[in-house]
Every structure is written in structure tokens, then in C-alpha cells.
Amino acid sequence: MEITADAGIRRAFTAVKKTSRREFIITGAAAAAFSATLFRAAQGLLSEGGQYLGLGLSRPISQAPLAPASVEIDPVAHALNRLTFGPVAGDYERVANMGVAAFIEEQLAPENMDDGLCDRATARFADLWGEPLGEHYEEDDDSLPPILRRVTTLRAIYSRHQLFEVMCEFWSDHFNIDPGKGDCRWSKPSDDRDVIRKHALGNFRDMLRASALSPAMLWYLDGQANSLKQPSDKANENYARELMELHTLGVHGGYTQQDVMEVARCLTGWSFYSKRETRLRKAIRPRVFLRNVASRTPFTERGEVFFDADHHDDGSKRVLGHEIPAGLGKDDIERVIDIVAFHPNTARFLATKLCKRFIADEPSAASVEAVAKSFAESKGDIKTVLRTLLSTAEYAASAGVKIKRPFHFVVSALRATNASTDADKPVMQFLEKMGQAPFRYPTPDGYPLEAEHWHATLLWRWKFALALANNQIAGTRIERAKLQRSLGGDAAMMAAVLNRKPSADESDAFFKSGDGLALLLASPGFQRC
Amino acid sequence: MSALAHLTTNSDDKRTLVVVFLRGGADGLSLVVPTADENYYRARPRLALKKNGLLDLDGNFALNPLLAPLESAWKEGELAIVHGAGCEDTTRSHFEAQDLMEHGGFVAGGWLARFLRARGPSISPLSAIALSPTMPDVLSGAPSATAFQRIEEFSIGRKTTPAFPRELRRLYEMESGGLRGAAESTFGALARIESIDTNAAPENGATYDANDSFHQGLRQTAQLIKADVGVDAASVDLGGWDTHFTQELTITGNIRSLGAGLAAFRRDMGTRMATTTVVVMTEFGRRLGENTSLGTDHGRGSVMFAMGGGIRGGKMLGEWKGLTREMLDEPGDLPVWNNYRDILAPILAKHGAPADSFSKIFPDYALKPLPLYG
């Protein structure tokens, strides 16, 4: 009859509890945190009122910064194309001066780099971001997913931690959760914070463990329903299968239907207090619900993950050839996570996906093997793995072979034009037309990495280019003449936007098209990275 | 050759094939209920649909009452149903099974795309359309295919001068590979679509649900077909069938949408249904036994529908061996007795696939086509 809240999760929530609005109201004990919040908000309002209109977020541009001089994509431009969501004015000069190796190290240590513009762009959502999940349940049904999409887009546009944001996007696809599914509309934001962003440049095993017991994932893949009331009950296989198929081994990673069933048995009994303890959920776990009502306040418990030993299948299991003895209880999950996180096929599967993201749609076996080896040897240390990947010969030789996915395209266009944007509905609608608004992918496999899936989106890219260049997107503004002037004229602007010197044909089309900036953004050269 | 007796080719290029994919693994046993099989009722003490209230089809099977709008198509012989249908994939993975059912084998590109290539080049850039935000795999590799959600969206913008698309096109024509082909398809489709009257109302009193994206996909497919812009194949998705948890709650709206949408399309198309075939498929069915969360887990066989286009329906086609324990597929699933290719092949033949093209459309598979056309 033991019900044990998972200690790690509990610590994570305790750590952020000081910003809880309700606790302040109920106990009056969080005055310090509240006044800091108030101070931040007031500061934001007074100095940067324009942010609420999506204005005042453009960066200062130094006069005529160094621009790429070659028609080929040079190594500096290549690094900016691949490690960021596209360069902003001045990036090329900065990276050329510091060197690509130093740039990579800078990007691998975002904690050492302040991020004022991004903080300003997202300041109005900062409170919400710091709150524990239980507080998020106070929000209306449809309020959080749009904020999550918006904050994610604003960060991609304005953050200096570009590689970190790129990796957050990568992991959000890898551990995809569509917040349209039930409780996920409240629990996905804390998954984004406590799983994706917390571990994006950390350790894969830690991220996998966090994901396995993330309330949003427990809901999305039915882990919370994977509970045995009586010995004849069968485990819910949904998460167990995706854990191996999508998160670790890959579909051809050597697991069997039997392994899926055994992993599902290992994970029985883990659940969390969701927004609504519905009648059905009461029926499934009457004792848990009664205890919840009787001895704890449902408000503080909501969002808390727990292990219900009564509903756990505590018999022995065999997972991928490893014996898991009977009686381990809540330690079963640790064994399972170790087995799948450190499996050699997991290293290969993750290496393949990372190579597809950073090198080419069909990376060579040699690159995949080198990255997989690094993944295995470092026990999933993501920074080590990225260093290995970025030092492969194939990476260096792959300039311009990739096609930007729509999100990358939109963000890179906003960055290249030094746009001020609130990333609100009008921008999101363009992303939806192109089929890649953040957190809108409906199935657990996440947006595909390969270019072929995105070929049908060209028309919407062209329409976005025209709308952006002509200030026809509400909440988004560019200063076209100023941009052209401060970059140092048309030729320099072309080089800055394309991240290389334009070809003679591109230059010719720029002047003949009647709308040079829109043409550049719509051109095939700008789709490549 | 006798195995292929049900393949009669017809190269009438006015035919359109509409592929409806139910994503997530639709529970065929809830769509078309095996009312004569006690094992169904035993395996689903809480989820089974009681006999009374269902619409009897042939004494052995009955339609879910939410599919009542399809009853007239069945009675008029335009609707054929195949139960225990699906693919040979045994991973029970959505992505593997969808992959296989869309690719039609372990090959690059989709079966619908290979069918279009086998039929020969189309003059229409709208030959293949997907009413969806992204291109489905079934159309991957098609000679030209376009994904969109609203016909009205399909223009570059009114304010540009002719120079803009001209210069843009010039740059894309200098490209190689995927980008070039993608741009060619886009420019071609743009020119073609300008001739369509998007305000045309549905015909014959048909009504689509304005707030249902599946219905709107079918409505616009009908508009495009009727405008004779040369649509050979259309793909429309209806998602949300992955009912591990409280199945009855999650599946009801979907079943209603499916029945009403297909019936509205048939009515709207009127006599054009004679040259239009709608086929409904899903990646797999659900396990026969319900789970403890009032849902069903991934299984194998499900149900397929084929409607219109001269199909001799009004009867259940294909194998059905019953749901006794020894018949079930491990770990207790309705088996796949009828491979989806054997249902699609006669339809593709009717739509003009040359007899010698089937080894390319469905490689490494010995076809045993079902008698969809009598």
C-alpha cells in the first residue's frame, strides 16, 4: 500500500515552488519572490513597453559588418547555417574573428553567455515558465500550448544560445508530445522545461529518465494508465513500445514484441495526479484517490508523479536479454532505462538522427559509426557527441546540401531581416501552413528530418517571404531601408541574407524581380543550409 | 495468371482515386461488428457493441449505427467491405505499418506515386493532391504532387508583378535535385488552379461539416474533380484512432465524421461516382481483447471499405475465419487474412494501371486480387 512520490521529481518541483502564485495568496509566504517578479515585470514595462507589441526587439547593427566574400559557403557561414537558426547581421564577422572552433565551444556553454534580448522578448511569460506544473493546471484549456509555441519561436529568433535552441528543437522532435492530447495541454510546458531544456546539452540517459516520468509523457503515451489492479490485467504497451522504437533502439534495433510486453510490465504502477481525477481514474485507482482526498490537498498534489506499488507487476522480467529479478518495485524503471539508454543500437540510432540533422539526409556509415562510438564511450554525453560530429570530414564537406525545414526557414528569415516580432498568431499561421508549427506534430515520431517531406511547402515559403519583406505580417516589423543601409548596400545585404556572396544570376534576379529582398528569401539559395 | 483474373484495366483518364487513411490504427471491430461471433462479445465485456441498434449487413456483420449514412451505398451495391484486412507488418508500430501500407513494400516512394508513374505522365500538375499540411508517404515520389488544405490558399499573392514569379522560377530552374522538382510542381499547379470556382456549393443537397477538416478535405476534393483539373489521385487523412484509453469516448466522433463525410461526398459527386473510387484504409486494427483502461492496444487486422467507381459491393469480400482462440494472431489479434494490396490492385487496374506494372507498384508480392468488380 506504499505510495512513494519520486524523490527527484519532488525535488524538482520544490525548487521552483517559490514562484507559485497560489502559495503566495494562500500563505503570504512568498513575498520576496513575488516582489522580484513584480520588479521584473515593471522593469520590462517601463523600459521595453514595445515588446508587448512585438516592437523594439531588433538588434543594433554596426555599420557595414564583414560579409561573406565567396560564392561558395565558407566554413564560418557553414557553421552558422548548421549550428544556428541562421545568422543575424554581424554574426559572420564575430565568428570569423573568434574562429569556428571557439564558436562551437561558446555555443556548447550557453550558461556562460547572457541572453538579454531573448529574456526581454519572453519576459512577459517568464513567471508562467517558472511555475510548478500544479500551478499550470490553473490556466484555461487553450492558453498554454499557444504560449509554449510562441516562447519557443521567440527563443529561436532572439536567443544567443543558438545551438542550445537547435538542440531543444531536435529533442522536442525526438521525444515528441502533441500538447493537443488531454492533460498534455497543461503538462507539456513543464516537460519542455524539466526534460527537454534541462538536458538538451546534458546526458542522454538523464533526459530519457526524466522523459519516462514526465507527466506529459505519462499521459501522452498512456503510462498513467499502465496499472495492474489484478493479476489477470494486462499492461498498456504504448509507452514501452515507443520507448524502444522511437526514443532509444530504433524500430530495427533488435527488440521483440516480448520485450515490449516485458518493459510495459516493468513500468506498471507509475502515474501522476493529473488535472482531473475523472470518474474513470477513480475507478482505476480508488484507494489512491481516496487517500489523496483524505490526507493531502489535491491542489498541491496535482502534477506530482508517484509509484503505486500495489499496481506494479513485481514478478521477474526479461528485457533484451537482461534478467530483472522479482521484487525490485520502483527500481524496475532504473534497470529498464539503463538497458535501453546504454544499448549499442541506441547509440547508433541517435547518431544517425544527429548526423541527419547536422550533416546530410543520408549521412555516410563512417560518420554514423564515429558519432555512435562517441555516444557509447561518453555514455550519452551530448556535448561530447556534438564535438565528435562537428569534427567529421563529412560535416566539413557538407556545406549547403541540406534544405531548411519550415521552422528553420521562417526563423532564419526573421533573423536575417533583423525583424521585431511577437511571434503571435500571424507568424504561427504561416508555420502551420508549412506544416511545422512547434509542438503541432500529431504522432510520437516528431517532425521528419529529411528534406523530401517538406517539398510541398515551397509556395508557403514564397508567400511568407513576400509578406515579411513588405511588412504584411501583423506583429512583425522590419526596417528594410535601414537594413540595406546599415549592412552597406544591396550587394552586402544579399551576401548577409544568403550567408554567401550571391551568384551573378541571383544578383540579376534580385534587381529584376521588383522585390529583391522577398526574392532572396524565397530563392532556392535561402532554402539551403 | 488465373490469380490475376480480377484485374481488368481501364485507361479512362477521367477516373479519380480518393484514398482515405485512418491514422492511428482504427478498430475495425467497432466499425463493422462481427455480430455472429460470440468470441467478440466474450473478449470485450465492456466495449462490445450490442447487436440490437446495429445495422445488419449480411447476418454475420453489422455496421456501427454511427455509420448509418453509408447504409444506402451498401444497399445500392456501391460499397464493398473487407474485414480482417491490413498489411503483413508484425511490429504493431504505427510508423512501420503506415510506412509499409503507404510504400506498398520495402521500396522508396509510395504505391500511389508508383501507380501514377506506371500510368504515364499526366498533363495536370494537380494529378496528385493531398488535402493535408504535409505530403503523405503514399504520394512520395509522385511525378507531381501538391499538399494543401484550402484551394483558396493556392496563389503566390495578388500584389506581385509578373517579374517576381518569373525571376523566382528562373533561379529554381538552375537548381538540381528535389528543390527544382518541387518548384516545377508548384508553378504548374498555380497556373492550373486559377480556373477553379471555389465558391461552388455541394450538389444534390449534400452537406459537409464546415468545422471538420476531413469533411472539408472531401468537399475540396469533389470541387477539384468536378472542375476537371485532372486529379488522378487524392489523399485525405482522418486521424485520432489510437484508442488505448477510453476507446468509446475517443472513437465516437471519428466514426460519425467518417460515415457522414463519405456519404456527403458520394451524394455531392452524384453521377461522377461512376468514375470515382474511394478506398478507406488504416495501418492496423486493435487487439480483440479490451485492456484495463477501457481501450484496445495495437493489433493486426482491421476493415477496409471501397466505394463507387463501378464496384460491385453490397457484400462482404475476402476471407473471414472467425475469432476463435486458435485463429487469432499472437498475442490475441484479429489476423490479416486479406492483404491490402489485394484490395487495392483491382482498383488500380480499373484506374488504368497497366497489367504488367503491378510488379513495380507492389514489388515482391504475389497478388491475389479480390473480386471487387464481380
Closest to A222 measured CA to CA, from B242, B219, B125, B191: B242
Examine the predicted complex and report whether its ipTM is higher than 0.90.
no
With 60 as the cut, is the pLDDT of residue A13 above it? no
Task: For residue range A337-376, list pLDDT tens digits in order.
Answer: 999 999 999 999 999 999 999 999 999 999 999 999 999 9
CA distance A3 to A20: 25
pLDDT score for A282: 43
Does residue B11 register a pLDDT over 70?
Answer: no
CB A241 to CB B93 under 8 A? yes
Instruction: Spell out a b/e string for A147-169, using b for 16 or more CB atoms within 10 Å of the CB, else e.
Output: bbbbbbbbbbbbbbbbbbbbbbb
The predicted-structure confidence for B73-120, as pLDDT tens digits, reads as follows 999 999 999 999 999 988 888 888 888 899 888 766 789 988 987 887
Cell triple for A177: 508530445
Task: For B55, list phi and psi in degrees, rounded to 5.
Answer: -105, 105
**If you measure CA to CA, which chain B residue comes closest to A524?**
B172
pLDDT for the residue A355: 98
CA distance B30 to chain A (A): 20
B13-22 pLDDT tens trace: 579 999 999 9
Interface contact B160-A514, CB threshold 8 A: yes
Is B204 a residue whose pLDDT tops 70? yes
Judge: A456–B135 Cβ closer than 8 Å, yes or no: yes
Burial of A507 (0-12, 13-18, 19+ CB in 10 A): middle
A452, A512, A524 member nearest B140 (Cβ): A452
Identity at A371, one-letter amino acid code: V
Pick B330 or A281 by higher pLDDT: B330
* DSSP 8-state symbol, B129: E
| pLDDT score recorded for residue B9 | 52
Among A174-183, A347-356, B139-148, the minimum mean pLDDT is found in B139-148
pTM for the full predicted model: 0.74
Residues 6+ apart with CB under 8 A from A14: none
- The whole-number average pLDDT for the span B140-151 is 75
Across B33-43, average pLDDT: 96
- pLDDT score of A155: 98
Cβ within 8 Å, pair A443-B23: yes
Find the residue in A nearest to B241 (Cα).
A443
Burial label for A139, CB within 10 Å (0-12, 13-18, 19+), is middle
User: For chain A, how far is it from start to end, CA to CA, in angstroms?
Assistant: 56
The CA distance from A230 to B101, in Å, is: 37
| Predicted pLDDT of residue A28 | 36
In this predicted structure, what is the pLDDT of residue B141? 66
Say what the pLDDT of residue A271 is.
92
Whether residue B176 lies within 8 A of chain A, CB to CB, comes out as: no
Confidence band of A33 (pLDDT split at 50, 70, 90): very low
Lowest mean pLDDT among B117-131, B218-232, B256-270: B117-131
Report the pLDDT averaged over residues A77-95.
97
Query: Mean pLDDT, to the nearest integer, of B221-234?
Result: 87
Q: Which 8-state DSSP code applies to residue A20?
A: -
Give the pLDDT confidence score for residue B8 in this predicted structure: 58
- Are A435 and B161 an interchain contact pair (Cβ–Cβ within 8 Å)? no
Across the interface, do A505 and B170 touch by the CB < 8 Å criterion?
Answer: yes
A435 CB within 8 Å of a chain B CB: yes
Chain A residue whose CA is closest to B293? A225
Q: pLDDT at position A277, please? A: 56
Confidence of residue A10 (pLDDT cuts 50, 70, 90): very low
Does B23 contact chain A (CB < 8 Å)? yes
* CA–CA min distance B273, chain A (Å): 28
Q: Among A19-33, A69-83, A259-273, A284-298, which is the least confidently predicted range?
A: A19-33
Mean pLDDT rounded to a whole number for chain A: 87
> Of A245, A251, A506, which has the smallest distance from its Cβ to B171's Cβ?
A506
Q: Which of A4-13, A20-29, A410-419, B151-160 has the highest mean pLDDT?
A: A410-419
Which three cell numbers mark B51? 447487436
| B266 vs A434, residue with greater confidence | B266
What is the rounded average pLDDT of the residues A396-425?
Answer: 97
Specify the pLDDT at position A55.
Answer: 56
Give the model confidence (pLDDT) of B57-74 as tens digits: 999 999 999 999 999 999
A283: pLDDT strictly greater than 50: no
Beta strands in A168-214 (DSSP E): none
Task: Kindly state whether B157 is in contact with chain A, defined as any CB-CB distance less than 8 angstroms.
Answer: yes
pLDDT band at A86 (very low <50, low <70, confident <90, very high): very high
Q: Which of A:183-222 have CB within 8 Å of B? A: 222
Residue B154 has pLDDT above 90, yes or no: no
Q: Count the neighbouring beta carbons within 10 Å of the beta carbon of residue A476.
A: 22
B355 touches chain A (CB under 8 A): no
CB A145 within 8 A of CB A180: yes
Per-residue pLDDT, averaged over A380-405, amounts to: 98
- Across the range A415-436, mean pLDDT stands at 91
Residue A467 vs residue B230, higher pLDDT: A467
A280 and B246 in contact by Cβ < 8 A?
yes
A461 → chain B, closest CA residue: B156
Helices (H), A267-364: 279-284, 286-295, 298-301, 332-341, 344-358
Q: Distance from CA of residue B315 to its chain's centroid? A: 19
A501-526 per-position pLDDT tens digit: 999 999 999 999 999 999 999 999 99
Contact with chain B for residue A29, Cβ under 8 A: no
The per-residue pLDDT for A7 is 39
Q: Which residues 231-290 in chain B show a CB within 8 A of chain A?
A: 239, 244-246, 289
What's phi and psi for A225, nearest 5 deg?
-95, 0
How much is the pLDDT for B158? 66
**Which residues between 72 and 111 in chain B have a beta carbon less than 8 angstroms from any beta carbon of chain A?**
90-96
Please give the backbone phi and psi of residue B365, each rounded to the nearest 5 degrees, phi first: -145, 130
Answer whether A231 touches B (CB < 8 Å).
no
More confident residue, B108 or B185: B185
Comparing alpha-carbon positions, the chain A residue that sits nearest to B108 is A452
Please report which confidence band the pLDDT of residue B4 belongs to, taking 50, 70 and 90 as the band edges: low
Residue of chain B minimizing CA distance to A311: B292
Interface test mutation site (partner A, options B106, B138, B164, B249, max chain A beta carbons within 10 A): B164
> Could you tell me which residues come within 8 angstroms of residue A30 by beta carbon, excluding any fewer than 6 positions away?
A18, A19, A20, A23, A24
Of B146, B163, B292, nearest to A513 by CB-CB distance is B163
Q: Per mean pLDDT, which range of A58-72, A130-144, B73-87 is the poorest?
A: A130-144
